[in-house]
Structure 1
Amino acid sequence: MSTRKKPLEGVKVIELATFIAAATTGRFLADLGADVIKIESAKGDPLRYTAPTEGRPLDMYENTTWELENANKRCISLNMKDPKGKEAFFKLLDGADILITNWRVQALQRAGLDYETLKVKYPSLVYAMCTGYGEYGPDKDLPGFDFTAFFARGGYLENLRQKTDVPMNVVPGLGDHNVGINLAAGVLAALYHAKLTGEGEKVETSLFESAIFNMGMMVQAAQYPDYGVKYPINISEANNPLNACWLTSDGRYVQTCMPDYNTYFKKFTAALGIGEYGEDEKYYPVQNLIENKLGTDIYSKIMAAFGTKEYKEWEKILTEADIPFALAKNWEELLEDEQAWANDCFYKMKYPKGERVLVKHPVKYQEMGPTPYDRGPFIGEHGIEILSELGYNKEDIDAMLADKTLYVWEDK
């Protein structure tokens, strides 16, 4: 293992946030060596209690979601409504390089924690803000989760469903992780500038803004209503029917991706054993297909061909033909995916009840070596340690514990 110093060692980050998106940013920075101190209430981040929704047992000692978002961090639980708790928070900020928050705009302003207020006292601070719908506009203070602000408002659910069916099911974290990494990229740029110049910056993104960026190609294309088909569509109606999922005889779906129909059509139909259509000018090139309105027809022929063989047979045929494809895998299969293990996607964490496989961040570093994976902290686990570092003596800390300004979770 490399002994190279991690790039963010010596950087101090205060994370005043709940749930996933902002925590993803903090976790990314913690993996790079930053001292990320997460601030929670006595009850703790609601993310600690989402296990039943995800189909897991609720167990503070084995909380895989908490680990995913909060590994490698320290935690202090402060009552921010108490003046002594607020004072401790500002002492933390005194030595901080970065503040990460997902509080709503109005809440930040009421608490005196908005950027305009803090930059007066902390001119070099990088202020990272993650919201549901953005910092401005009529909906800036709406509660935002990725199900709503990202998937629904951002265009996924309406446009990506089959026209004749309800929207796809979504699961937590997809939009949040995307947004968290976007915010981390902005934070690192601002931190670099701050270290060079001493000038801080506010970095902001949101679930909604990130979804719009992700949908950029199609949002832009929507300005040309006289071309193509209006979404939502049934995939058989697409201008390019080769970018679809096909059902095999053993009930598995295979996704193919051939962005340029003309480059792949003859090779693809030949591999499927229906090469006669590749030579038929009604179906090729794509302009003829569109003019003859035969997209649904060729889609049906390809689907029928896939139904004649099991996936394992198609895997060999498509690989040899150099067709871009992938099996639609379930989560259980991903846990055993040889490609994922070869590329260090997973980490084996030892828990009191046994070993579990956890997912790692997708960015790797050759010279630095593997990033650590320490479990996420319990509520307030490092509070006494952190306050001691700030200069609080034992009597001060005991008094704060006694009046619940400071809280440290204990299993009862």
Structure 2
Amino acid sequence: MNSEESLFSHLRVVEVGSFVAGPAAATILGDLGADVVKIEQPGQGDLWRHQHRRPELPQATTNYLWLLTGRGKRSVAMDLKTPEGRQLLHRLCRDADVFITNLPLPVRGALGADHQTLSTINPRLVYASFTGYGEVGEERDEAGFDTTGWWARSGLMDQARSDPDMPPAKAPAASGDHLSALSLFGAIVSALYRRERTGAGGYVGSSLLANGAWQNAVYIQAALAGAEFRPIRRRSESWNPLNIHYLCSDDRWFMITLNPAHQALHWTKFATIVECPDLLSDKRFNSYDARLQHNVELIRRLDEAFSRRTAADWKLHFKGSGIVTSIVARAEDAPHDEQMKANGILVELDGVPDVTMTVASPFFIQGESKRRASRAPDVGEHTNAVLRELGLRDSEIARLKLAGVVQSPEI
């Protein structure tokens, strides 16, 4: 592993999981220096390795999904369905600091990867559990992906409509998983902080359902408060014409966010920038309440105005105005985003042909450096090295490989 010193360079993390939130939390710990040992099933390994072939995803010769979530880890291919595989897992966890899993709850006991077993072996272990729908209740054993447990079940999917007559929108791939990984990471570091004070490990967790509810908390809290929900409105009928997106001459969308509290201050400036001075003398638009009442006419007028220039041109026109705007970006824009690069959101990546950058974990800690991102491992690439660290001789590793307990490219 990289020898440079980082915040968690002293931590060992054992990860037994796939698809994607649990492993992504381990990725964040690895970014901060932890030695992440990923246990994979011999053969195909983590099924996330193979999902880049799905036809609805962007097509590339590089396995970008695995590159992102598997980076900087060590892969040990070990069959936990065998008694010897479980014994090896227990030896690994004896000196580990964190264990991360999103295995289904009923499976964990059968594989010797449940909290009771591992905490008995290592009372200082922080056991991090991720599930689809939580640890208790009738649905505790239900399988869940972010499309179901986070996006659909939380109400986010229903909310994401630009037209009431359109079907709900599908979430971008793994978006709920990556957000959920942050909450699991937060739970892990909180438990590590408690361990510093008490010396004891602990059991922490999160779920897709909990994270979906948190993401949709404004609307769920409204329901809890007995609020009256209004039907979703078409863009052309939006309540606030200064808080929607407009199509520009280059077929790119441009987002305006001018909230009610700021409209009186910026209305004259806005009308000048969009080259519509007539709006200032039109009584239908000279106050917030008037614009609210005549929202459809104002949207129609602004649609025509924004169609005259490109989105990039409009961004320049609004620069320095104090009015909050953004081009509606596409993922293809990110490699050229200098702001992302300047702030360490996109960082250099080592060891991957034709791919020089990756997406960093989304926070910084002043005075602490993140580990330089490196390529994701092949299945079982580090099996021999990790087993040697446990004290196994090469002859014993060879026997385990011959028996199908482990897989490695060596011996």
Q: TM-score if structure 2 supplies the norm length?
A: 0.89
CA gap of 1:24–1:355, structure 2 versus 1, over 3 A, is closer
Distance 1:10 1:210, change over 3 A: same
Write the distance in 1 (CA, Å) between the matches of 2:291 and 2:59. Answer: 49
Instruction: Determine the structure 2 residue equivalent to 1:166.
Output: 167
Residues 184-223 of structure 1 mapped to structure 2, 5 A cutoff: 184-223=185-224
What is aligned with 1:108? 108
When residues 115 and 287 of structure 1 are mapped into structure 2, their CA distance, relative to the original with a 3 A threshold, is: farther
- Equivalent residue of 2:323, what SS? coil
Distance across 2 between alignment mates of 1:38 and 1:209: 25
Q: How far, CA to CA, are the matches of 1:231 and 1:119 in structure 2?
A: 50
The answer as to whether partners of 2:341 and 2:347 remain within 8 angstroms in 1 is: no
Task: Say whether the 8 Å CA contact 1:262–1:285 is kept in structure 2.
Answer: no
SS of equivalent residue, structure 1 residue 99 = strand
Contact 1:240 1:261 in 2 (8 A): no
> Does the C-alpha gap of structure 1 residues 258 and 137 become closer, same or farther in structure 2, counting only changes over 3 Å?
farther
Counterpart amino acid of 1:286? Y
* Partner in structure 2 of residue 28 of structure 1: 28
> Match for residue 273 of structure 1?
275
Q: Give deviations 1:293-323, integer Å, cap 9, x for gaps.
A: x222322222222122222331222114222
Query: CA distance change for structure 1 residues 165 and 98 in 2, over 3 Å: closer, same or farther?
Result: same
Evaluate the alpha carbon distance shift between residue 337 and residue 387 of structure 1 in structure 2; reply closer, same or farther with a 3 A threshold: same
Name 1:380's counterpart in structure 2: 380
Which whole-Å deviations, capped at 9, do the CAs of 1:320-358 have from their partners, x for residues lacking one?
Answer: 422211111222221111222222333444657544432
Query: Cα distance, 1:13 vs. partner?
Result: 0.8
Separation in 2, partners of 1:79, 1:327: 49
Contact 1:158–1:167 under 8 Å retained in 2: yes
Instruction: Give TM-score, length-normalised by structure 1.
Output: 0.89
Say how many residue pairs are matched.
402
Q: 1:224: how far off? A: 6.2
Q: Which residue of 2 aligns with 1:83?
A: 83
Q: Is the 1:249–1:308 Cα contact (8 Å) retained in structure 2? A: yes
* Residues 351/74 of structure 1: CA separation in 2 closer, same or farther (3 Å cut): closer
The AA in structure 2 aligned to 1:344 is G
Partners of 1:278 and 1:18 in 2: CA distance: 57
Q: How has the CA–CA distance of structure 1 residues 319 and 212 changed in structure 2, closer, same or farther, with 3 Å as cutoff?
A: same
Alignment-mate amino acid for residue 210 of structure 1: N
Alignment of structure 1 residues 25-104 onto 2, 5 Å: 25-42=25-42, 43-53=44-54, 54-57=57-60, 62-104=62-104
Gaps of 5+ in 2: none
Give the letter for the 1:55 counterpart.
P
Q: Which residue of 1 aligns with 2:402?
A: 402
Q: Partner amino acid for 2:300?
A: S
Q: How well do the aligned residues superpose, as a CA RMSD in angstroms?
A: 2.5
User: Take 1:352 and 1:126, find their aligned partners in 2: how far apart are those partners?
Assistant: 32
Shift of 1:257: 1.7
Shift of 1:241: 2.9
Greater mean deviation of Cα atoms: 325-334 or 306-315: 306-315
Unaligned runs of 5+ in 1: none
Query: How far apart, CA to CA, are the structure 1 residues paired with 2:355 and 2:116?
Result: 47
Q: Deviations over 1:265-299 (max 9, x none)?
A: 44323422334445655445434544x3x222322
- Which stretch shows the higher mean deviation, 279-288 or 72-81? 279-288
Give the superposition deviation at 1:154. Answer: 2.0
Aligned equivalent of 2:358: 358
Matches of 2:299 and 2:137 in 1, distance apart?
A: 43
Once the two structures are superposed, residues 98-119 of structure 1 have per-residue CA deviations (whole angstroms, 9 ceiling, x without a partner) of 1100011222244343324433
Mean alpha-carbon deviation: is it higher for 85-94 or for 305-314?
305-314
The residue type equivalent to 2:50 in the other structure is Y
Distance 1:139 1:381 in 2: 36
Counterpart-to-counterpart distance in 1, 2:379 and 2:332: 31
Measured after TM superposition, the shift of residue 225 of structure 1 is 6.6
The answer to whether the aligner puts 1:337 opposite 2:337 as a matched pair is yes
Q: Distance in 2 between matches of 1:350 and 1:125?
A: 31
Percent identity between matched residues is 27
Pair 1:147–1:266, CA change in 2 (3 A): farther
Call closer, same or farther: CA 1:116–1:238 in 2, change over 3 Å. Answer: farther
The answer on whether the counterparts of 1:30 and 1:72 sit within 8 Å (CA) in structure 2 is: yes
2:58 counterpart letter in structure 1: G
SS in structure 2 at match of 1:246: strand
> Partner of 2:336: helix, strand, or coil?
coil
Residue 177 of structure 1 aligns with an amino acid whose one-letter code is H
Residue of structure 1 equivalent to 2:150: 150
| 2:124–2:201 Cα contact (<8 Å) kept | yes
- Tell me: CA distance 1:302–1:224, structure 2 relative to 1, closer, same or farther (3 Å): farther
1:259 deviates by 3.0
Report the equivalent of 2:134: 134
For the residues of structure 2 that align with 1:223 and 1:370, how far apart are their CA atoms? 41
Query: C-alpha separation between the residues in 1 aligned to 2:357 and 2:347?
Result: 6
| SS of equivalent residue, structure 2 residue 358 | strand
Deviation by residue 1:17-51 (Cα, 9 ceiling, x = unmatched): 11221111111111111111100001200111112
Amino acid in the other structure paired with 1:185: G
Q: 1: CA distance between counterparts of 2:267 and 2:203? A: 49
Q: After the TM superposition, which residues 234-245 of structure 1 pair with which residues of structure 2 at under 5 Å, given as runs?
A: 234-245=234-245
Partner Cα distance (1:223, 1:354) in 2: 50
